[in-house]
């Protein structure tokens, strides 16, 4: 898993490999419980809310194959121990497919989603007199690339709504990081540092990005915030934002500025939450 994360693999790719190495994922838990009836109540932390992807689908059929798992590892050039490679080439690695008789008594319900979180955020934004625009909960990709894309979208939306008293661009999904250095932080913190650079101190513009489980990547923070003076404050402290970004050290950057969001584990998870806000005459 660590190797796949370091390569920037998507959650679907990571789970495809996990399901063919686990004794409970990919429908194996329900198959082991059969003929007993099982009921799964799931909180979705994956874009699209596919039951087979949530927690790697321990009680639902797995549409992926061991060949796909091998292909993913090969595409990233990941060298695995001989025992893992041998297992993935064996029939034992194949998990139950959808419709397998061993899954006939398994029921699955989703009780919370990223879409629901964004809808609640949009309602809150509207209640406070601002316009909310949601890009949806399925936004995936490299954190720095997403930041550049969303900075452009944000500028376009502002031009399209010049008379609004304020605007908040919402999005969810899952960002990933392609590791280049050994710094601290996580995808949300890296996204925000890249976003701060892209926005370049834009007046009256603020943003937050955080993982709703309270843990961004391998850091102790859920995420961070940026303000119109983020880059100016960094410069005053002799910090080069681009150098921090180049070594994947967004966590140290925001820690030094005092702009980390630290919640501790929230005991829930509906994936990443991002908001870019234009609030006139605040900062």
Residue where a domain stops, chosen among 71, 87, 112: 112
Residues 122 and 262 in one domain: yes
Confirm if 212 and 120 have CB atoms less than 8 A apart. Answer: no
Confirm if 94 and 28 have CB atoms less than 8 A apart. Answer: no
Residues 147 and 266 in one domain: yes
Alpha helices (H) along the chain: 2-6, 11-19, 28-33, 66-75, 82-88, 114-127, 143-160, 187-199, 230-236, 241-246, 250-257
Task: Answer yes or no: is 283 within a domain.
Answer: no
Q: Among 13, 10, 1, which Cα is nearest to 69's? A: 13
Residues 211 and 86 in one domain: no
Q: How many domains does the chain have?
A: 2
Residues 152 and 74 in one domain: no
* Residue-level pLDDT, tens digit, the chain, 283 residues: 788 878 888 888 998 999 999 999 999 999 999 999 999 999 998 878 999 989 999 999 999 999 999 999 999 999 899 999 999 999 999 999 999 999 999 999 999 999 999 999 999 999 999 999 999 999 999 999 999 999 999 999 999 988 788 999 999 999 999 888 889 999 999 999 999 999 999 999 999 999 999 999 989 999 999 999 999 999 999 999 999 999 999 999 999 999 999 999 999 999 999 999 999 976 4
Residues 133 and 80 in one domain: no
Residues 120 and 86 in one domain: no
Residues 98 and 203 in one domain: no
Residues near 74 by beta carbon (within 8 Å), at least 6 away in sequence: none
CATH number at 65 reads: 3.40.50.10180
Residues 157 and 37 in one domain: no
Give the pLDDT of residue 65: 95
Residue where a domain stops, chosen among 112, 135, 163: 112
Element (H, E) at 108: strand 106-112
DSSP state of 245: H
Q: Among 48, 51, 47, 49, which Cα is nearest to 38's? A: 51
The model's pLDDT over 76-134, given as tens digits with 9 standing for 90+, comes to 999 899 999 999 999 999 999 999 999 999 999 999 999 999 999 999 999 999 999 99
CATH number at 161 reads: 3.40.1480.10
Give the pLDDT of residue 88: 94
Residues 103 and 119 in one domain: no
Dihedral sign, Cα of residue 140, residue 146, residue 151, residue 155? negative
Residues 193 and 146 in one domain: yes
Give the pLDDT of residue 282: 62
Question: Regarding beta strands 139-142 and 167-176, do their DSSP bridges make them parallel or antiparallel, or are they unpaired?
Answer: parallel
Task: Answer yes or no: is 127 within a domain.
Answer: yes
Residues 106 and 241 in one domain: no
Domain of 37, in residue numbers: 2-112
Task: Answer yes or no: is 67 within a domain.
Answer: yes
Residues 66 and 90 in one domain: yes
């Amino acid at each position: 898993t660590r190797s796949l994360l370091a390569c920037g693999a998507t959650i679907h790719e990571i789970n495809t490999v996990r399901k063919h190495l686990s004794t409970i994922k990919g429908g194996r838990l329900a198959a082991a419980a059969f003929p007993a009836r099982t009921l799964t109540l799931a909180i979705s932390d994956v874009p699209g809310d596919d039951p087979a992807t949530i927690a790697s689908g321990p009680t639902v059929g797995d549409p992926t194959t061991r060949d796909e798992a091998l292909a993913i590892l090969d595409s990233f050039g990941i060298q695995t121990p001989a025992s893992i490679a041998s297992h993935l080439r064996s029939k034992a690695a194949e998990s139950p497919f959808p419709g397998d008789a061993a899954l006939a008594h398994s029921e699955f319900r989703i009780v919370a989603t990223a879409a629901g979180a964004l809808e609640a955020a949009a309602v809150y934004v509207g209640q406070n007199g601002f316009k909310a625009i949601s890009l949806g909960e399925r936004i995936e990709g490299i954190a720095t690339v997403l930041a550049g894309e969303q900075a452009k979208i944000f500028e376009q939306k502002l031009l399209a709504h010049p008379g609004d008293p304020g605007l908040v661009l919402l999005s969810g999904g899952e960002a990933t990081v392609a590791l280049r250095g050994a710094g601290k932080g996580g995808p949300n913190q890296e996204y925000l540092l890249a976003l701060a650079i892209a926005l370049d101190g834009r007046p009256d513009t603020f943003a937050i990005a955080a993982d709703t489980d309270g843990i961004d990547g391998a850091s102790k923070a859920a995420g961070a915030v940026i303000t119109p003076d983020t880059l100016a404050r960094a410069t005053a402290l002799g910090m080069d934002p681009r150098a921090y970004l180049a070594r994947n050290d967004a966590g140290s950057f925001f820690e030094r500025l005092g702009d980390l969001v630290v919640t501790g584990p929230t005991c829930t998870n509906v994936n990443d939450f991002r908001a870019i806000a234009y609030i006139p005459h605040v900062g």
